[in-house]
Amino acid sequence: MKPEEQAAHHRKGYSYRVTDEQIRRWRALPPRVKLQWLEDANRLLAAALTPKARAIQNHFRRGEL
């Protein structure tokens, strides 16, 4: 395991990777499409998450878990 991977392994929270191709495709989308995707995702989370799940998600975002 590379040193940067070891450091990332020991950090709290979460991470993910995207390929250069995924970045290129995202950048090619018009801003309106990106904003619509974000709005849809936020609506879904607001409707689906229980208060407990939302609290856990917030702990992850702050790197506490």
Closest CA relative to residue 58, chosen from 45, 43, 40: 45
- What are the tens digits of pLDDT across the range 2-61? 666 666 566 677 788 999 999 999 999 999 999 999 999 989 988 999 999 999 988 888
Query: Could you give the CA distance from residue 65 to residue 53 in angstroms, rounded to a whole number?
Result: 13
Domain count, the chain: 1
**Which domain range does residue 36 map to?**
30-65
pTM: 0.55
Torsion of Cα atoms, 39 then 41 then 43 then 45, to 10°:
-150
Query: Could you give the CA distance from residue 11 to residue 5 in angstroms, rounded to a whole number?
Result: 10
Does residue 12 belong to any structural domain of this protein? no
Does residue 10 belong to any structural domain of this protein? no
